[in-house]
Chain A
């Protein structure tokens, strides 16, 4: 797992947790503020390919998993961040680094209500224009 060592070296103390679920499924936890810089390293320096991102509404906050593929080793590295403030949820946009992230950020914005700071073209992707403002289909009603 040479590539994982490189990831750890390059990201240094940004890495809060790393879980090797199976050799081909690795989950890495970062702070939300580090996501842009970490993605720059993974995508531009280490040659990871961006697959997509999964936004999840959890009782603790919004979790986003950015799934990256390291095709040479057939490994998926999912970078997890937790945005605790649900009312003012926001995180840096990755679309400024590479355009392949534009659509999925638009989707997470309309489905969960997470703001992506610096996104070049934020508007609805899948929801119809008559869908009510402020209703987010993928949010859950959690008991407090």
Chain B
């Protein structure tokens, strides 16, 4: 007799942005369906934006996300610049690109750490977060802030990078390379991690297309899209870099894409520091005329989209925002189904939303609402599966 069990995950987690609530329907160990409930952090920023003037909104949208706090203002200023067809000084484009790639580095390291934790590799977690610190130090050095950098401005950036600072930034960026090499080796050559992540949480190419998935999640399934290349903004068309694409669509592929992307980010930052021309870093724009415009950037999680409609006043009539997780999280509906609950925490985390809430998970047996296990048990389940694989490979003897 099959016991259909409902397994709620969420909604709150102190670590990550975006609380979400997942209700897993489980038969035996297998996940058969999933309900996703979002909206816990809905703050009405689109509505709020209608009452803020254009300069203020750059700050407001920076608060949408604590992790990609640069991607939203970046897409927003591109949207406004598209409305008024404003050209940004070249130096500002380079500085914007440097900030955007630093953000990708710290975001991917954050993800890597949590993924490590979920499979019981706490060393990966601690290392990843240790090496995320120097990235935040670079942010502090350039912008004065470790989060919420406040760099984006319609027409340019708020702060220049002074020439005398560049050697120090270059040194700090180069310092990340050995850490990346270590992660690449430790994760991509580890037979246990490979066995644990391979073939789990597969999103097929067609599923990616049907669910309109973006970013590393799409690229891990062989869908070759990246706004940085497809519609170059900032200085992405002035430096050499590669779009990383993998074909397997499983969590291993998503991990590889993110690890290899970090190398590209370091390379992009280095080239920007070398090539950045002298000159102004702000176009000093005046008024936003009536019209409409769209800005989009490749955030660490995928395409971040902003639409602005202006009626010629100092506030937009409509400001539409779409974060990449909006599309990616919805795809969990197919990504997590069909696998065991010991893979669920990992699969839900693999699209890099917030890892919402796994720690507060409760498994409830539906008929009598009896609590079977809590969130820690679920993480433990995932870690035990890794331990089992280690044992099968006779690595613990």
Residue ranges of A at the interface with B (Cβ–Cβ < 8 Å): 21-22, 24-25, 27, 49-52, 54, 56, 65, 67, 69, 71-76, 78, 98-104, 124-128, 137-138
Contact = CB atoms under 8 A, between A and B. Distances in A.
Nearest to A97: B210
Given A65-B307, A76-B296, A138-B46, A124 B39 contact: yes
18 contacts: A21-B292, A22-B82, A49-B212, A56-B309, A56-B318, A67-B305, A72-B230, A75-B231, A76-B296, A78-B307, A98-B211, A99-B330, A100-B211, A100-B330, A104-B326, A128-B39, A128-B42, A138-B46
Contact of B212 (A21, A54, A98): A98
B42 A127 contact: yes
B294 A103 contact: no
A65 B212 CA distance: 17
B307 A125 contact: no
Interface string B311-340: 000000110101000110010010000000
A54 B307 contact: yes
A13 B279 CA distance: 50
A24 B307 contact: no
A46 B369 CA distance: 49
B330 A103 contact: yes
Contacts of B103: none
Contacts of A72: 230
Nearest to B35: A121
A49 B326 CA distance: 15
Contacts of B232: 74
Contacts of A78: 294, 307
B275 interface: no
A129 to B, nearest CB: 9
Nearest to B225: A71
Interface in B326-372: 326-327, 330, 333
A25 B294 contact: yes
Given A128-B39, A138-B46, A71 B230 contact: yes
Nearest to A98: B210
B388 interface: no
A69 to B, nearest CB: 8
Interface string B183-215: 000000000000000000000000001111100
Nearest to A56: B318
Contacts of B307: 54, 65, 67, 78
Contact of A25 (B42, B44, B82, B211): B82
A73 B225 CA distance: 11
Interface string B281-301: 000000000001110100000
